[in-house]
A and B are shown apart, each in its own frame.
Chain A
Amino acid sequence: MKPPDEHIPGLKAVLPYYLFASIGFVIFHVLLVFAAPELPLHYFQPKLLALTHLFVLGWATIMIFGASNQLVPVISETKLFSTTLPVLNLVLLVAGIPMLVGSFWAFQFTWIAYTGAACILLAIILHSFNIYKSISAGKSNIITDILHMAHAWLFITATIGLLLLINLVFPLFPEEHLHYLKIHAPIGMAGWFLQLIIGVSSRLIPMFILSRNENTKLLNITFYCLNAGLALFLIEGMVFRSFHGKYAYLVLIVAGLIAYARYIHGCYKSALRKQNDAGMRQTFIAISFILGALILLSVVLWPGADLQPNITTALGFTFFSGLVSIIIMGQTFKTLPFIIWMHITRLNTLPELMPKDLFKERWVNVQIWIYLPGLAMLLAGLLANITILLQVAAIFMLTTAIIYMTHVFYITGKLKNKQL
């Protein structure tokens, strides 16, 4: 029997990811303040491309990589295959992301952009390899299958992204650039982010709310519907260069999401702990944004609709700033205090402080009280094309990002406290 402590990866495989991601979150919102007046323009524009890539890579993916280095051993009941690869991956990401994002912002594609994109792709390959090897050594179940597929979609998304970057200067693709952008973005959103969130939350939510629900049949439906829909969408888009079946693929994906929603509802119904802390409340708020994103997606895909691109941008913000950011912000305070506590608590004496004493629940509440009005204003500003609303919204969200980053550093600072 492996002792459980073997499941704990070293701090260097996890903590620096939290710190860099929180910095990336603040930088994203600083740039959002500057770019706010241009947000309602077409989404294929330098600043929005830079912001999107800073968000998905510099904030969300860095955080998810760090958290998965901690959580994958818990989910698959094994140890992390390598604790050295995460250090190399972070170096590659921290070097590559500014190169890529800076190139998008300036809209200049030199060797800097390609080097940055190559560093990011390499980091993604190495991370996926590490996760694959870790999961393969442990117990296989539907949740580990979901994690495998999420990483496969991340690799496909990043590869298409690199090819698109090359395509900007050296045309590679037979269709226009935007055709492939319409593939690159959805498979990244649904294949990587959404699927990973579904996989991790399916394990953590029942654990945190003490749910008796073990009905993973619904997760099987989610897994097959979501991946079938995405795979058909990818094949038709790349091989046949059309999107004729998009409504059928959407139906498959929505069916998968309904199964996931039913699973989460079942967990909540059978939970012993119905009074949730701030972190869990924010997780449920975040999940509700999936519905908002689906409504906007339906508007965007409505047959014959000739829509302004700002609705597509609003869809992007609903998904990323609504679902992804809020779930990460909430779950940070369900994981980081434990990670720090594990490393500072002494084995030979009973601790005076517990993980809940290492962070401020009030700050977690304040962050969402400021963030939600900010996001609501941002979406309203985008849909109604009101610049001043967008700028005020960006300042609200920047304030949240600063509170969040300060909180992450405050918790990390507890490492100096060896008195537990």
Chain B
Amino acid sequence: MNIDITDPHYAIKMKALQALYSVRDPELNINIVDLGLVYNIQVDEEKQSIGVQMTLSTRSCPLGNIITNHAKVAIEDELEGYQAEVELVWEPKWSYDNISAEGRTALGL
């Protein structure tokens, strides 16, 4: 996921993204950002809220609830005073091509 440097919320989004690097996929043991699961981060400074749109590698992933909760916890720990909301989306469908170069290296590919 890329964040435009001209984005007015660039700094906060980058912090949120950094926080999401600490959330790991339990099966692959790599973080959800490098796995390409995080699609979008939105900031509402008035409401002090961070919205995350992410997906799962499989729609019925039994670990989905845990991963999304951990994403929320990671952001709220990093950005004190902000509330995080994580929304699961299924479009575009996740594919293995979403995995970043770092993710591929971590997987030993």
Nearest A residue to B95 by beta-carbon distance?
A212
Chain A hits for B109, CB < 8 A: 272-273
Question: For residue B104, which residues in chain A have a CB less than 8 angstroms away from its CB?
Answer: 272
B60 touches A347 (CB 8 A): no
In the bound complex, do residue B26 and residue A77 qualify as a contact, i.e. CB atoms below 8 Å apart? no
* A4 at interface by CB-CB < 8 Å: yes
Chain A residues with Cβ below 8 Å from B63 are 4, 338, 342
Expressed in whole angstroms, the Cα–Cα distance for A1 and B89 within the complex equals 10
Q: Interface residue count for A (Cβ, 8 Å)?
A: 32
Q: Are B108 and A275 in contact (CB under 8 A)?
A: yes
Please state if A212 and B96 are interface contacts (CB–CB under 8 Å). Answer: yes
The smallest beta-carbon distance between B36 and chain A, in angstroms, is: 12
A78–B24 Cα distance when bound, in Å, is 25
Contacts of A341 in B (CB 8 A): 26
Contact with A along B61-89 (1 / 0, CB 8 A): 11111100110011001000000000010
Over the window 1-41 of chain A, the binary record of Cβ atoms lying under 8 Å from chain B Cβ atoms (1 yes, 0 no) is: 10111011000000000000000000000000000000000
B18-64, CB < 8 A from A: 22-24, 26-29, 56-64
7 closest pairs, A vs B, by CB?
A: A4-B64, A5-B65, A77-B60, A347-B69, A8-B62, A74-B60, A7-B60
Q: List 30 A-B contacts (CB under 8 A).
A: A3-B65, A4-B60, A4-B61, A4-B62, A4-B63, A8-B65, A73-B62, A75-B60, A77-B60, A207-B57, A210-B28, A210-B96, A210-B107, A212-B95, A272-B107, A273-B107, A338-B27, A338-B62, A342-B62, A342-B63, A342-B66, A347-B73, A349-B73, A350-B22, A350-B70, A350-B73, A350-B77, A354-B26, A355-B27, A356-B29
Residues of A whose CB lies within 8 Å of any CB of B are 1, 3-5, 7-8, 70, 73-78, 207-208, 210, 212, 272-273, 275, 338, 341-342, 345, 347-351, 354-356
Q: A8-B65, A74-B58, A347-B66 are in contact. List 20 more A-B contacts (CB 8 A).
A: A4-B64, A4-B65, A5-B62, A5-B66, A7-B62, A8-B62, A73-B60, A77-B59, A207-B57, A207-B58, A210-B107, A272-B99, A272-B109, A273-B107, A342-B66, A345-B66, A347-B65, A347-B70, A347-B73, A355-B27
